[in-house]
Structure 1
Amino acid sequence: KVFLFDEPLSNLDAALRVATRIEIAQLKERMASSTMIYVTHDQVEAMTLATRIVVLNGGNIEQVGSPLDLYERPANVFVARFIGSPSMNIFKARVVETGAITGVEVEGGGHTRIEVPSQAGDQGAAVRVGVRSEDLVPTEAEEALYEGEVSMVEALGETTLLYFAPQEGEDPIIAKLPGIHRFRRGEKVRLAATPDKLHLFDEAGRSYLHR
């Protein structure tokens, strides 16, 4: 009735790992009446095999939900950065406009609006803004989330990864652009994202949507 898997694919090479993951998914479909508990540190395995994910951190449950729930509505910064590759970009910011749409001023000069409600008492609060690498797009508009100098370009054909030098103590900012782009190292690029693709976390790292 119950099958327990403890990182069964961790010692396989990349190609065999993908093939075996597909086999396990097909096995799961054929055994619909059985329960499978699958432990993994690989978030791709979790996203593709699970119907329900429990994210653990230091023995504590951070969030429980379907793969897309965790991707689209992470409860906190830990879950936001754990789910998705590359990890979600996080910016320090301050609330400058409250209401159904929240306006924030990002540390370093960026300004954007987020499709997340806030209360009048949140005015001036220190927050963190999250945006996934694949949701960032280059822009020439005045209102941009981030402007930085490209430190490295990875041209993968189907996607182009732009890396920007991190601020002290922070992870690098990464933009994942579809297709081929001709950006060069040292080039200054302004990045933006639509308000519905941005996430808002309080200073403790909790999502405003889960308050």
Structure 2
Amino acid sequence: MEQLLKKHQRLEINGLLLTIGVTVAIAIGGMIEIIPPLFIRSSVPAEPGVKPYSALELAGRDIYIREGCSGCHSQMIRPFHWEAVRFGRDDNDENVYSTAGEYVYDRPFLWGSKRTGPDLWRESDLRNAEWHYRHFKDPTMQGEMAYSTHPAYPWLYEKRIDVEEIVRSMEVLDLFGTYAGQNAVYISRARAELEGKREIDGMVAYMMKLGRDRRESIDGLRKEKKLTVQE
């Protein structure tokens, strides 16, 4: 025991040895944490009905990130009553709370940690596309929301979406298995989908994507259950 303590003391007083030892320990721990997930397709399965972003929705998401929207908006509804009341339809609806399987195609995650504005993860349940087209141009909605601190984004109505940039983004996402080997199909659709589109079209499409897949899946299951009961 005494010899072990002496060896440890020698390590502590020798800066070079201590640095090497710490570096080796961090490297081993890092490899154990980082390498295994690289060979796992997905540790969290996608929620039923959740689909990858279309080209237009992906363009809108990139614009959302570029404009720093996650600095004021979160995208995660926690399992608390007041969260459901504030950002969802009602707390008895299983579509309200966020689940891990809804985020499998999000790279990076945009959960956020500040709510200067409302949470947007169920935005498609609350407001329609027309509302967003008006809101991004005039956040006060001609006086209807005079209290709004949301900035206007007039340039989104003028600037065209860079088609090739979005195609490159889709190619990178496919490296992570986002399109499950159907990247060529998605890209062929992308060019037609984005042709002549403005950035505001992408942003609104992204807003209408948030929460839609899971809601449609749950509504479909409810319809099936109702038909089964009737039979």
TM-score by length of 2: 0.23
Structure in which a larger fraction of residues adopt strand: 1
Bigger radius of gyration among the two:
2
